[in-house]
Amino acid sequence: MSTYIRKNMLLFILTILSSVIASLGYVFMAVLLQQLLDIAMDKNIHQFIRMVVFSIIYFVALGFSLYLQSLLSKKVICKIMLQIRSDVFQGTINHSIEDFEKKNTADYISVVTNDVKMLEDHFLLPLFEVVQYTVIFISSFVLMIYFDFIVTICVVAAIAVMFLVPGLIGGTLEKRQNKFSSKLADFTVSLKDMLSGFEIIKSYSMTKSVIQRFDKVNSETIQSKYSVDKLLALNEGLSAFLALMVQIVVLFLSAYFIISGRITVGTLLGMVQVSSNLANPLIMIFTNIPKMKSVQPIIEKLKNISKHSTIPSRKENADTFQSHISAKDLSFSYDGTTEAINGIECLIEKGKKYVIVGKSGCGKSTLIKLLSGYYSTYKGEILYDDAELHMLDKDSVVQLSSIIHQNIYLFDETIYDNICLHEHYPEEQIKKAVEDSGLAEFISELPTGLQYRVGENGSNLSGGQKQRIAVARALIRNKPILILDEGTSAIDMQTAYDIENRLLKIENLTLITITHHLDPNLLDKYDEIFYMENGHMKERGSFKQLINTPTSFSQYYHLKE
Ligand code: ADP
């Protein structure tokens, strides 16, 4: 947090300065009241008129400085929030795929929205209040000594008791606030999950159970918030009570001193006014300090996410895919117990075409994700030319390939934006990608052509159209490796055939396809077929080699016919 304050130092100092001026102006109103009452008691009309003129100027200046202080503090908070949110988002985006997948997407949403907001409400706003009220408190204290020393001593004693309050509940409050933040994250995760399944909820009549599930997480979240609020209420109540005590002490002592002739009535009024400026700021300070302390774990959490935006990679760039990628004795488990793939050996040569086949769940997608650098916790070796994947910069490895999954993600923008992804490409290149991906005919039928908006995750398009956009998105980038993970499964047979056929003809492209469509004409065009079974690489070879011998692949192939 200090980094952000340092970044906005000038504005921050100006805010504090305006706050100091406004607070001093506010406190010295007590002197004004004291003088006014003493003038009234003297029945001095000339001094009274001078006082009225002075007061008008004084209050206009005070009003302006209060406005300035409020405006500047809002401006500095907005600037800091902007920077924090941007850093947290950059940190989130800069996660590796492996790290990102460790949490639910809604967890990240909750951090960028809920936690950052909590920082504003429980740290930045209280911080300015603490500064402002500290100034009010100190200047009131000095003024109190000026009015009467003995009353000040008694006030100090009452204040000493007030110091104990935040220390008593601060620790518990911090724990509860942390729990509330994680409940809030769970709430966002559940909400996203439920709304994402809207269609299923409707078509399977799940409304009742979904409402019950929502009510459960909703009430857990609110209960957690209430447990924080209960402590805050205790803190506020105790502080308010003690502050009231301070005022009562002042009032009774001053009344006694008027009777004994030690002070004037004007001084009593001045002291009552100042004592409220001693008590109320203390309430604010002692309710805000535990609040600020309680968000420390959240500040840590945000710091940890943001730091991803600044860690430079010390690894080599993966520009080393000149001849091949190979896997040696490669095994991997998602959960640390069951192996999704085991002892895989394979060689992918640059520019050649490979197809991976096998039953669902045999490890095909896992293998290509590992080869393209998604996960780092594998056993065995993955070599890019001769460099082990661990030695290479993960981001630049991921950059080498485009993967087209069965489930395509489209942004709620135009087809053009979804293909170019906000990068600039020459017209010719876009046209070629649109044609090679089989999109041309569909786009020519749209009134707005490439500028057609696809809706939330492409809801205005069919599965096949989405996949074609994904193919165009991949082709336009001319990356050396293209992976189709059942990437044409939602397209009609003929179009899928045409797209795959075109991809097979691109000379320098290394193509790896996972497919369940076993078309002999296409399979024959691949350099090698990898047949997988239960996480193992069971057989490898050309279509002709595998189909003309009694292999597991040929059995699988004939079953599928
Ligand atoms: P295929 O692509 O051949 O259908 P996958 O590689 O997707 O198979 O899956 C291989 C095994 O790993 C399956 O048992 C699957 O349940 C499991 N698996 C896949 N993805 C994950 C994941 N993200 N977390 C945990 N297990 C997974």
Amino acid at 35: Q
How many structural domains does the chain have?
Answer: 2
Q: Contact at 8 Å (CB) between 322 and 481? A: no
**What pLDDT score was predicted for residue 277?**
80
In-domain check, residue 316: no
245 burial type by CB count under 10 A (0-12 exposed, 13-18 middle, 19+ buried): middle
| Angle formed at CA 295 by CA 291 and CA 298, multiple of 5 degrees | 165
Task: Give yes or no: residues 294 and 425 share one domain.
Answer: no
In-domain check, residue 61: yes
CA–CA dist 292, 183 (Å, integer) = 19
CA dist 398 to 80, 329, 374, Å? 33, 22, 7
Runs of H (alpha helix) within 477-517: 493-505
Q: Phi and psi at residue 383, in whole multiples of 5°?
A: -115, 130
CA–CA dist 180, 184 (Å, integer) = 6
Task: Give yes or no: residues 279 and 223 share one domain.
Answer: yes
Nearest residue CA, atom 27 of ligand 1?
334
In-domain check, residue 317: no
Q: Contact at 8 Å (CB) between 451 and 400? A: no
Distance 363 CA to ligand 1 centre (A): 6
Task: Give yes or no: residues 283 and 360 share one domain.
Answer: no
Query: Structural domain of residue 144, as residue ranges?
Result: 2-309
pLDDT in tens, 309-357: 554 555 555 566 888 999 999 999 998 889 999 999 999 999 999 999 9
Task: Give yes or no: residues 199 and 274 share one domain.
Answer: yes
CA–CA dist 286, 126 (Å, integer) = 10
Task: Give yes or no: residues 292 and 348 share one domain.
Answer: no
CA dist 282 to 149, 175, 501, Å? 20, 24, 77
DSSP per residue, 394-409: HHHHHHTEEEE-SS--
**What pLDDT score was predicted for residue 92?**
86
Of 250, 284, 309, the residue at which a domain comes to its end is: 309
Task: Give yes or no: residues 164 and 191 share one domain.
Answer: yes
CA–CA dist 133, 26 (Å, integer) = 11
Nearest residue CA, atom 12 of ligand 1?
340
Find residue 532's DSSP bridge partners: 537
| Angle formed at CA 158 by CA 155 and CA 162, multiple of 5 degrees | 125
pLDDT in tens, 209-219: 889 989 999 99
Pocket test for ligand 1, best of 334, 339, 371 (most atoms within 8 A of CB): 334
422 burial type by CB count under 10 A (0-12 exposed, 13-18 middle, 19+ buried): exposed
First to last CA, the chain: 64
Of 280, 309, 338, the residue at which a domain comes to its end is: 309
| Angle formed at CA 168 by CA 165 and CA 174, multiple of 5 degrees | 110
Task: Give yes or no: residues 386 and 266 share one domain.
Answer: no
**What pLDDT score was predicted for residue 207?**
82
Ligand 1 site residues (CB inside 6 A) read 334, 340, 358, 360-366
**What pLDDT score was predicted for residue 63?**
93
Task: Give yes or no: residues 438 and 476 share one domain.
Answer: yes
Pocket test for ligand 1, best of 341, 365, 485 (most atoms within 8 A of CB): 365
**What pLDDT score was predicted for residue 382?**
94
Ligand 1 atom nearest the C-alpha of 334 is 25
In-domain check, residue 252: yes
In-domain check, residue 483: yes
Ligand 1 atom nearest the C-alpha of 485 is 2
**What pLDDT score was predicted for residue 45?**
92
How many other β-carbons are positioned within 10 Å of the β-carbon of residue 407? 12
In-domain check, residue 282: yes
In-domain check, residue 315: no
Tokens of 229: 């609020």
CA–CA dist 431, 447 (Å, integer) = 17
Task: Give yes or no: residues 296 and 359 share one domain.
Answer: no
Task: Give yes or no: residues 193 and 70 share one domain.
Answer: yes
**What pLDDT score was predicted for residue 101?**
80
Nearest residue CA, atom 1 of ligand 1?
361
CA–CA dist 496, 193 (Å, integer) = 32
User: The whole model's pTM is what?
Assistant: 0.69
Task: Give yes or no: residues 524 and 429 share one domain.
Answer: yes
What is the domain-level CATH number for residue 14? 1.20.1560.10
Tokens of 114: 């809920």
In-domain check, residue 216: yes
Q: Which residues of the chain have pLDDT under 50?
A: 311
